[in-house]
Amino acid sequence: MKIIRLLIFLYCLSLSFHLTAQSNFQHAFEECQIKGSTTIYDYQNKRWIYSDSLDAQKETLPASTFKIINLLIALETKVISDENQVIKWVGKTDTTLYGYRPEIYHDMSVKEAFEVSAGWVFIELAKKIGRKNYLKYLKACHYGNADLSEKGVDFWNFGKFVISPKNQITFLRDVYEEKLPFSKRNYEILKKVMITEQTPDYTIRSKTGWTRDGGIDSGWWVGYLEKNNNTYFFATRIAKKRSEVNPDFGQCRKTITRKILKQINAIN
């Protein structure tokens, strides 16, 4: 009987701590005046950390975070030889037609396209990869729901192909451990391209994402932070109605994530 009481006490204690942690993490979202969640996986301690454990399992479009697996698939299927391959701009640099970020519409290496999130480059790669190859690798990697019923080429920005923050992290963890059906060389290329910040204390490999489907702005920042003694995987997703004005929406993805990483002492 005493053992049962002890177990109940420990469960309640852990639940209380979990709920308190989630409540504390919400301050970062409140300061940004945005709704969303941050999910973190502490690799060394095999511990999940949530700002909202329910939202961590909700599936939405991956947007440009899909470029992570997209790059691996493009390399593995030999659609591109390496990250430095240049993709020719297929249209016209007419700012009246391409008013949104006109600076990205020119011949561009895949590496640069990943870094500046030039969606048109990956759309051109997708045309060559084909749905059959996508289904093969998405299922093998347990990435998202593998619903490619969207007729448009960029099914990661529109349609029913969705993934949860927790799934984003399990995929990234498999990439980190190199457990998926990709070559060692292709993992090395991806991990090099994903570097977005390096300091003497840590390295961040990551990708942002932002789509505007169904009247909703949905923004992501996913990746992992490597330190000497640990690795922290993260997936932050925020959302708002397109009619709501928030000039900090894009930056909030990273601001929120960094604040929570600081709260758990992953970074100073």
What is the pLDDT, as a whole number, of residue 16? 40
Q: How far apart are CA 222 and CA 77, in angstroms?
A: 24
Listing DSSP states for 53-118 in one string gives TTGGG--B--GGGGHHHHHHHHHHTTSSSSTTPEEPP-S---TTTS-SSGGG-S-EEHHHHHHHT-
Q: What is the residue extent of each domain of the chain?
A: 23-263
- At residue 13, does pLDDT exceed 50? no
Residue with the bigger pLDDT between 69 and 212: it is 69
22: pLDDT confidence band, cut at 50, 70 and 90? low
CA nearest 154: which of 115, 107, 122, 114?
122
Answer left, alpha or beta for residue 167, where phi above 0 means left and psi between -120 and 50 means alpha.
alpha
Q: How many CB atoms lie within 10 A of CB 162?
A: 16
186-240 pLDDT tens trace: 999 999 999 999 999 999 999 999 999 889 999 999 999 999 999 999 999 999 9
Match 């009619």 to its residue by tokens.
Answer: 243
Contact yes or no for 155/166 (Cβ under 8 A): no
Architecture of domain 23-263: 3-Layer(aba) Sandwich (3.40)
* 138 Cβ neighbours under 8 A, 6+ residues apart: 69, 144, 146, 148
96: pLDDT confidence band, cut at 50, 70 and 90? very low
243 has catalytic annotation: no
Q: Structure tokens of 260?
A: 């929570």
Catalytic one among 37, 51, 64, 218? 64
**CA-to-CA dists, residue 257 to 30, 58, 138, 234, angstroms:** 13, 18, 26, 8
Q: Range with the lowest mean pLDDT among 89-93, 98-102, 189-193?
A: 98-102
Mean pLDDT of the chain: 91
